[in-house]
Every structure is written in structure tokens, then in C-alpha cells.
Amino acid sequence: MIRFILSKLLYLVPTFIGITIIAFGFVRILPGDPVLLMAGERGISPERHAELSAQLGFDRPIWEQYFDFLGRLFQGDLGNSLVTKKPVLDEFLTLFPATVELGLVAILLATLIGVPVGVLAAIKRGSWFDQVSMTAALVGFSMPIFWWGLLLIIFFSGVLGWTPVSGRISLLYFFPDVTGFMLIDSLLSGQKGAFASALSHLILPSVVLATIPLAVIARQTRSAMLEVMGEDYVRTARAKGMSQARVVGVHALRNAMIPVITTIGLQIGVLMAGAILTESIFSWPGIGKWMIDSIARRDYPVVQSGLLLIAGLVMVVNLLVDLTYGLINPRIRHK
Amino acid sequence: MALLEIRNLTVRFETSAGAFTAVDGVDVSVDGREVLAIVGESGSGKSVSMLAVMGLLPDTATVTADAMIYDGRDLLAMPVAERQKLIGREITMIFQEPIASLNPSFTVGFQIEEVLRFNMGMDRKAARRRAIELFDAVGIPEPQTKLDAYPHQMSGGQCQRVMIAMAIASNPRLLIADEPTTALDVTIQKQILDLLMDLQERHGMALILITHDMGVVAETADRVIVQYKGRKMEEADVLNLFENPQHAYTRALLSALPENATGDRLSTVADFMAAEAIQ
Amino acid sequence: MTQPVANQPTARLSDAAIRRQMLAEFWFYFRQNRGAVIGMWVFLALVFIAIFAQVIAPHDPTQQYRDALLVPPVWQEGGRAEFLLGTDAVGRDMLSRLIYGAQFSLFIGIVVVAIALIGGIFVGLLAGFFGGWVDTVIMRVMDVILAFPSLLLALVLVAVLGPGLINAMIAIAIVYQPHFARLTRAAVMGEKEREYVTAARVAGAGKLRLMFKTILPNCLAPLIVQATLSFSSAVLDAAALGFLGMGAQPPASEWGTMLAEAREFILRAWWVVTLPGLAILISVLAINLMGDGLRDALDPKLKRS
């Protein structure tokens, strides 16, 4: 098992180097002067230009700049935002919990609904439930979620007036950041109505973000269950006189979950892409919105480091998924 | 009186290419303490008829029979819940591919203790003790440690022993063995057969042995049913069958045995089919 | 049990006959999937609409009718017969814009898939056929691209290249291309050691010829399925980029861009928001339905599930 982990870790090193090269390189591959590009249409004075060039190290050879970039990276220095002047890492860490909270709730929703639906569709194959749920899953899979979010806003906020349109919590409430998770912090604050407010702000964005993963998980669970239900060991479980619930819920499900868990893990990348759209629709103050705003503002240090951090994050999550896969699959665990 | 008596069993499958009859009007009966062999090549419907008894066929299969009487009660007429109580307790089954027949995600101990707990009502401790005894009885060395092994960590022969241990765990009155040695090494085949025969005798249970191997039949069976393309060709005492086969197909099967080889080449069942086509 | 086979290959057949038979078999399986057939008809309708947009559309999609701002659809109070699906905030006919939008979506899908497919096949063939360090380097680069969330990477690429439809398509194609490369490589690895390739090599076929003429046609099925999937994702992602202001630029009647322009009216004029999204959903759904049918019909291994 330890060798399994080490080999996985080793495999990541070149990928991580590749990620740093891309993140480092994307500003450099711009045609023309990067400093001018950052300045955008406003233009820039020659003094400021020289100052910025030196500050960003553009006057030195490219490989020297790259190793400098790597060196600073390992010291946790990801540069400063051109707009706010604050360290990129600090901004990232402030906004990150909002995205994690949204993403976690979304993936939880998707899993808690998607897995049972997939299992039920598989064991009732061909039934109306199977047909309806799989049609719905395909619609969900095909959904332009930015539009879906707008529709939900029209209906639940516009027509019914049930949910707020944007943000994480009503401005009426103010309490210190403890965990960064609004749901938990609002409870800790003990303020009446704070939790309900946080929850009502979270519902629509998390539903929107959960839509595609939910569809993927339900479809994958169904097909994994169908495959497993045809295996010899499921027949054995039946031959042993085990109840249908035990055959499906223990013998089949345990094996079907192995590919499903991989699928759930792979949704993290999908979630990050979805977060960009969802956060932008609901003005959710997370890293998705941060990235979009920074791209629009040409805040290249933020885009560069944000790209690096997000890709690194996805990589780590994928590693964890691989390891979980090893943990739940005895055939790998005992190699 | 027979322990299990099936009259006029027919199994049809609905496929996208139309209906397909796998078993066509077959009668089977087996007495308590008897060893019945059902012989035929693959596709002869011999496994399907026994899976029908166990209720293990997929939804695409339609099972009809004039009667399927176990111990005086009709399996097809009784409520599902009642039949469920017989399957895995009084009637058990083992299969051709022992490794694939065990769940790869659970230890073999979990899989046998499950039978003891749910079918025999034992608690965890009692189930553990009994599982060790059973592993011992089927000849698994170091049963205590082997209980914690996963199927992929064991050989095919050992997995089949585990399957057998699970199948006798509830002291069944009828054990159905579907090609139990086909997937195993030749040297292991004999051991597994000996084990099955030994257990059959000691527990006094009936054994239905499905095989395509006339050699296995000669060594084990009291009585033989020969099946071909879903139909019963012949039924006889094992001695009668070998000495005086009635049906051309049976003769073909017998002549395919290596010890009956004449000339420089083994005759195959295909020869029989070719001969039949000429007639 | 016995696997039902539509057509048993019997005697020796000419290439054309084999191809016809394969097509017939494919159609036999594809037709059994009702959703796939529906998807195909919807897709064909979209193609028709895109090609004949000029004839079908009642108005010029960029013509602004100053006297008809935010006119609701015809069945709603205040609707006008000349604007069946109403008008947008600057008085352009929604129906005509939606019709012309089909051109964008299909164009985006075709271009993205073409670039990603050709690039991916080329790279995958190289990696799979030569193996060794060529393979290692190429596949590592693919891994790196796949490590980024696709939309984010596309966004950043567009930021580098400059917003616009062409750049958006290039960016999306670059992001999708590793999937094709991986598939091709895996197929080549699998096929490389098969007898017919060895036979071709013994017969003196050159490497290039071997790659393109012998191996490639035998790994088409998974590529076709991936191409359909990418087509629908490309339509979605391009619309998303448009929505974020990084794709097609106004006044283009690209559906995602239309949505972006309509955002501020979401609580006032439902039709400017609802209709473009519905158009995106229907096209993507139709393509995905078709993709499911293609996968089932082309990949016998998946047929049972």
C-alpha cells in the first residue's frame, strides 16, 4: 500500500512541473510586451513600465525567471494582485472556503440523490422510474447551468420570492469568520435567523452546481449496478438465500461503488469549472468569481497563481481519489 | 418418494432476436441421499434447468413446469417468501467459476459467516467458530487465518472449497453442483470431487452434479440424465448407461472419452451430429 | 447465452459489401434506441435551420426595431404578430436571432471537433506507434492539460488570445484534444500487435501508411463516440464563454452571448432569458441522445447496459 501511494506521488511530479510551466508560461507567450498587456487600454508611463518590468523580472532570461518563479512558489510567495496589491495567496485563502462550502454541499447533494436514483433505476430496469430518471439525467447532463441558474432565480426569487438572488448571507448579519464556512459560522454566532439566511443563500447555487455531477453520478451508478448485478458473485449471494435488500445493498453496491467513487472524484474538476459559472451568476464570493473578475481586470498575477492553485488542487483531489480507490478495492490494496 | 421431482420443465428466454427455448419438457427427479448426474455439452440447458429450480434465472426467462415438487411441496406454487426460505438453506448450489463466484470486495470469512448468521440465526461469535469448523471440514489449511483472506488471494481450488463450505453450512438436503471442477487444474479436480462425495455421504444429502465429463459421471453418480439441446435424451442407472447406452448421442459422448478412443483420433460430438444429419 | 447477431458474415465479401453490411448492422442497433432516433431528427432539423436561416428567419437578426423594445411573445398580452417570440432590449426579433444562432452552434461544434479530432489523432498515433520517450512526453503533456478544469483553461487561453469566437473555439479544441489523443493511443497500443498489422508490416507497408491506413480505421468507433460527446460539450462551453463575455461578441446572435446580454432583464422579460437557453439545451440534448445511441450501436461491449 505504501509503495502504491509512493508510486502515485512520484507520477504526479512531472505533471506538477508541467502545470507550473503552463501557469508560468501563459503570460510570457502573449505576443508583445506583457507589461503593456497588463496595463490594458489605459496605457502606462515609461517609469511605471520599467518599474513593473523589474518587479516582475521580465528583464532577465526566461529560464532564470522560471526558476525564480519556482523558488518563490516553494516559499509560498505567489505574487501580489495588481489591483488590490494584496498577496495572491491571502486572497485565495480568504475566498477559498466559500467555494469549498458551495462545492461540498453540491457534491453531497449530487451523491446523496444520484447514487440511490442510479441503484433504483438499475434494479427496476425498464420501469417508468428508470425511464423518467434516466431521461432527467440526460437533460441534466446537457444543461447549460448558467441558464439553469437564471431560470431558478426567475422562479424561486422572482415569482415565489423564496430565495435571495446573490451573496452568501443577508447583510443584516455580521459575525466573525471562524471556519470560513457560512453554515457553521452562522450557527456558532448564535444569532437568530443567521443560519436560515445562510442556508437560503446556499440552496440555489448548490442545486445549480450539483446538476451535472448529479446526472453523471446517477448514470454511472446505474450502469455500474447493471454490470455488477450480472456477476457470478451476485448469483452466489442469491443462491445463499440472502434477501433482495442484502444482495443489492451489500453484495452488488459495494462493488458498483468502486467505479462510482472514481466518478465522484473526477467531478471535482467539473465542479471547479461549474463554480466559475455558478459563482458569477449568484455573485458568490469564491475563487471562481475571483478568477473571472481577475481575467476581466487583466490581473495577471492572480490569474497565473489562481490557475496554478486550482490545478494543483484538482491534482491533489485526484490523488486522494486514486488512494481511496485503492482503499476500497481489495484487489489493489493487497498488491 | 423423491426429494425433488420436476415434470415437463420448460424455460424460454426472450431475446432481441426472438424467443429461444433453452430447456424443453425435461423431467428430473432425485431421491434423498442420491447422486444424480446431468450430462450434456454446453448449451444443452443442463445448468438452466437447475438455475430454474433455484429461482436464479434473469427476468427475461419464463419458467413453466407441470410440477416442481420439493419434499411434497410445489416450489412454483408456493409464495415467494416461502420459497426464499428453502433456497440457500435446504437447497444450495455451487458454480463453475469459483473465484468469480465469490464477492471480491469481502473476505471469505464474511461471506460464509453471513450464511451462518442470516440463515442459521447464529451470533457473530458462534458464526466465527462454526466457519472455522466448516473450513476445516472442507480441507482448507489454517482456517483461522484464511477466513480473513479475500478471494483473489486464494487459488481456484481453495475458492471452490470455500463455496462448498458455504453450501453445506446450513446442512442442506440437496446440493446442486454446476460443473464444480471444470475451471480447476486436473490435479485439483479429483480432490474436489472426492470432497463432494465424502460430504454427500457423511451429511446424507442428495447431490445433483452437472457436468459434461463422462469420466466424472462414472466416478460419482448413481443415476444419469443425458441432455442435448434442451431435451432429455436418456435416463439410466450409471452402470446400465455405460454398458448399454440407448441413445446415439450418449454413445457419442461415451466414445469421446479418451479411453474409448479407436484409431488415431478422438471422435467428437460433432461427428455424432454429422451422422445424425445424414440419417 | 447465445448473443443475438444481426448478420452473420457468410462467404467472402467485397470491401464495399462488408461496409454496407456494417452500416446495416449499425443502423439496426441505432434504430432500436428511440431516444437516439428522436435526437437525430432534432439534430437534422437544426442543421436544416442553420443552412436555410436566411430563408426561414422573418427578420434580419441585427435589425433593431426602435418602436418594439422588449415586446413579449405573440401569445402574451402586448405581443405582436410580426415578432412571434418577442423582441429583445434593443428591438431585435428573438425568433430570427435564435434561428441564426443555430449557425453559430453547429459551426462551433464542427470546428472544435475537427481541430481536436485531427490534432488528437495525430498526437495519439505518434505516441502509440512510436512508444518510448515520445509516448512518455506526449502523454505527460496531455496529463497536464487534463489537470486543469476545462472551462478555466479555455477561459485563460481566451484571455491570452483575446476574446472572440475564433479564439474561443481554438481554446476549447486545445482543451478537448487530449481525450482524442488518449483514445487513439490506447487503440493503437491494442491494435499494434494484432495479426493484420504484423501482416501489413511483413508485406512491407511503410510506417506512415501503416498508421493511417491500417490501424486508424480499426479504432474509429470510440473516436466517433468521443467526437459526439465533444460536439455537445463544445456547444455548451462556447455558450458558457459567450455568457462570460469571452466568446462570440455582441451583436452576434450566439445563444450564450444572447443570454449574457439578457441577464439584466431576467426579472422583467422572461423570454429574452428563457429562449436562448432552451435552444442550447435542446441542441445539446439532441446531440447527447444521438451520442448514447451511437455508443450502444458501435460498441458491442456496452450494448447490454
Q: Is C68 on the interface with A (CB under 8 A)?
A: no
Tell me which chain A residues have a C-beta less than 8 angstroms from the C-beta of C141: 18
Residue C141 has its nearest CB partner, among A18, A272, A298, at: A18
Copy the grid coordinates of residue B158.
481453495
* CA dihedral angle for residue A180, residue A181, residue A182, residue A185, rounded to 10 degrees: -70
Three-class DSSP category at C76:
coil
Partner-chain contact B16 C4, CB within 8 Å: yes
Tens-digit pLDDT profile for chain A (335 aa)?
Answer: 677 778 888 888 888 888 888 888 877 766 556 666 666 656 677 777 777 777 767 777 778 888 888 888 888 888 888 788 889 899 999 999 999 999 999 999 999 999 999 999 999 988 999 999 999 999 999 999 999 999 998 888 888 888 887 788 777 777 777 777 878 887 777 777 788 888 888 999 999 999 999 999 999 999 999 999 989 999 999 999 998 899 999 999 999 998 898 888 888 878 888 999 999 999 999 999 999 998 888 788 888 888 899 988 888 888 888 888 777 777 766 65
pLDDT at C2: 42
Partner-chain contact B16 C32, CB within 8 Å: yes
Strand partners, B37: B209, B224
Q: How deeply is C81 buried, as exposed, middle or buried, from its count of CB atoms within 10 A (0-12, 13-18, 19+)?
A: exposed
CA dist C116 to A218, C170, C176, C177, C256, Å?
A: 28, 9, 6, 4, 22
Quick one: which of A75, A116, A118 has its CA closest to A227? A118
Contact B128, B108 (CB under 8 A): no
Q: Is pLDDT above 80 for B270? A: no
Q: Is C285 on the interface with A (CB under 8 A)?
A: yes
Contact A145, A211 (CB under 8 A): yes
Listed by number, the residues of chain A in 315-334 with a beta carbon closer than 8 Å to a beta carbon of chain C are 315, 318
Radius of gyration of chain B (CA): 19
Per DSSP, the residues of C19-52 read: HHHHHHHHHHHHHH-HHHHHHHHHHHHHHHHHHT
Partner-chain contact C150 A273, CB within 8 Å: yes
Tell me which chain C residues have a C-beta less than 8 angstroms from the C-beta of B17: 4-5
Contact B215, B253 (CB under 8 A): no
Contact B196, B164 (CB under 8 A): yes
Residue C140 has its nearest CB partner, among A15, A22, A226, at: A15
Best mutation target among A240, A247, A325 (most B Cβ atoms within 10 Å) is A240
Rounded to a whole number of angstroms, the distance from the CA of A164 to the nearest CA of chain B is: 46
Closest CA in chain B for residue C5: B17
Residue C152 has its nearest CB partner, among A141, A273, A296, at: A273
Element (H, E) at A274: helix A253-282
Strands, E, within C145-237: which ranges? none
Rounded to a whole number of angstroms, the distance from the CA of B179 to the nearest CA of chain C is: 16
Residue A18 has its nearest CB partner, among C140, C236, C273, at: C140
* Residue carrying the nine cell digits 468521443: C226
Q: Is C14 on the interface with B (CB under 8 A)?
A: no
State the DSSP code for B152.
Answer: G
Distance of alpha carbon A133 from alpha carbon A145, whole angstroms? 19
Residue C149 has its nearest CB partner, among A21, A150, A273, at: A273
List residues of B whose CB lies inside 8 A of any C CB. 13, 15-17, 20, 22, 43
Copy the grid coordinates of residue C195.
495479426
In degrees, rounded to 5, the angle at the alpha carbon of residue B138 between the alpha carbons of residues B135 and B143 is 25
Per DSSP, the residues of C132-151 read: HHHHHHHHHHHHHHHHS-HH
Contact B120, B133 (CB under 8 A): no
Distance of alpha carbon B22 from alpha carbon B183, whole angstroms? 23
Distance of alpha carbon C120 from alpha carbon C141, whole angstroms? 12
CA B16 to chain CA mean position, Å: 29
Record the pTM: 0.86
> Which value does ipTM take for this structure?
0.87
Copy the grid coordinates of residue C168.
474561443
Q: How deeply is A166 buried, as exposed, middle or buried, from its count of CB atoms within 10 A (0-12, 13-18, 19+)?
A: middle
Backbone angles phi, psi at B184, to 5 degrees: -105, 160
